[in-house]
Amino acid sequence: MPLAFVSLFAVGVFGLGAWVYPARALDGRLPVGGLFVSGVLGLAACHSLVYAGAPTWTSVAVAIAGGGAGMATLAWRARASSGARLEAAPSSVLRAAGLAAVALLPGVRLLTEPLGDYDARSIWFFQGKIIFFEGGLLSNAWTKPELAFARTDYPKLIPLLAAQAGTLAGYWNDYWPKAGLLVLLALLMIGLHSLPFRTPVVWATAVLMLLLEDEAGGHLLSNGYADGYLAGFLLLATAQLGMFLIVPSRRSLWLGLASLALAAQLKNEGIVAASMLLVLFGAAALVRGQRRAVGVRLEWSMVIPFLPVFLWFVLRARLGIGNEMAGHATWATVRGRLGDPSFWDLFARHLLREAPLAVALLASLALAAFLPRDLRRGRAAGIGLALAGFTGYAALLAAAFLATPFPLEWHLQRSLARLSHSATALLWAALLLGWAGRRHEERVL
């Protein structure tokens, strides 16, 4: 029975966003991309309610009640806007079937494996448990020094989904709340379906997501960590925004911004990475003058996916929630490590030990051989966005470890593997834009 409620909630979330998603953004194409944006908007709408002080059950009720009607609206708008082209092409069904097959493993594990891994228990789902028992986000628990280990300053997308799943079931245990992550898994797969690349490339990207592991071999899409989803949504955002810089379309702009908003709601690294990518993207778009060239206008509703991030910052300030790690970091530590060759040696050795990153680095070197031709075809801005994003994220990682108040070797061993997956994802996005999109951008977009 709880599974039925969770499914109903998931459908509701996807339908809820349809109220605000503009039909013309579908560009007369199969509304899979529209479904992704609608899901992101739906999550933003029901989570914003909780950030604004509403009880968790209200957000669940709103999602379910408003979602069904929203789904109908989305279908009606899609029919009205795309007419005879609404039907699913066999290639689209085949792509969806492959992605569903890839999603089956993490989906089953989300539903059947209990919470076990450290951060999932102590950070994300413990916060979810607090929200579940407090009935919402307004609680003095977030400022208790005894709970500093739970990183209470982190954004609350995963804890809220867990609390909503618990609310739907009517109880808390170490199994059900993980079902809340099915919404993120569905969004990731729908987002991958919307990538403007060939189906085998999209499948390969989904398999790459499946292979992302933490330092203990836990699978990051199913063990309750945020890092796998952060890598996935950063990849989607960079690929779509990069594609916008190559062949501008309202669809890729919406999909890119919606993915970026999800990344920013997952964890603090996501907020920094999303801000960095937004600045890079804005600068590249202005330089290329694409806003005027193709008539793609910025719409106010594009801000809605980011609403939960803003509301979380407001709530943090209101409740006085600080960042524990930042509070302990000192300039002396940073200066000491900055000039210490053993730090860089240790950092590089740990970083290069990560197989997916090493593969992506090698592939990027191969890609460099094609760059001169790509530059002539005006593809540099797209590839450059992904590569600049990768460089910035790598710098962010280095800065985090330069400043860490924890023992360096322990901290590197405990978190660099999973944190580096977002860097891998950004490199992968560069590869997709440079190689996989080469022959198909004109046909697909």
Partner 1 sequence: MFPSPPALGRLPLFLAALVVALLALLGVAFQGQWVRMNVPGASSPVVPAMVLEVARCLEREGVRDFRVAGSLREDAEAYQRLVEVAWPVEVSDGSPVLVVRSQELHALCRGARTLCRVREVTVAACVR
Question: What does the binding site for partner 1 look like in residue numbers (CB under 8 A)?
Answer: 2, 79, 83-90, 93-94, 97, 100, 104, 108, 111-116, 121-122, 126, 129-130, 133-134, 141, 144-147, 149, 170-176
Rounded Cα distance, 322 and 232, in Å: 28
Residue 120 Cβ vs partner 1, minimum distance, rounded to whole Å: 10
If you write DSSP's letter for every residue of 16-73 in order, what string do you get? HGGGTS-GGGGTTS-THHHHHHHHHHHHHHHHHHHHTT--HHHHHHHHHHHHHHHHHH
Angle 70-43-230 from CA coordinates, rounded to 5°: 140
Residue 209 Cβ vs partner 1, minimum distance, rounded to whole Å: 20
Residue 149 Cβ vs partner 1, minimum distance, rounded to whole Å: 5
Choose between 145 and 320: whose C-beta lies nearer to partner 1.
145
- DSSP lists the bridge partners of residue 219 as 213
| Three-state DSSP class for residue 335 | helix
Choose between 145 and 372: whose C-beta lies nearer to partner 1.
145
Choose between 91 and 330: whose C-beta lies nearer to partner 1.
91
Rounded Cα distance, 10 and 16, in Å: 10
Q: 273 Cβ partners below 8 Å, 6+ apart? A: 230, 234, 263, 389, 392, 393, 396, 422
Choose between 174 and 324: whose C-beta lies nearer to partner 1.
174
Residue 350 Cβ vs partner 1, minimum distance, rounded to whole Å: 22
Q: What is the DSSP letter of 115?
A: P
Residue 38 Cβ vs partner 1, minimum distance, rounded to whole Å: 20
Helix H, strand E, coil C: the string for 210-227 is HHCECCCCCECCCCCCCH
Residue 232 Cβ vs partner 1, minimum distance, rounded to whole Å: 23
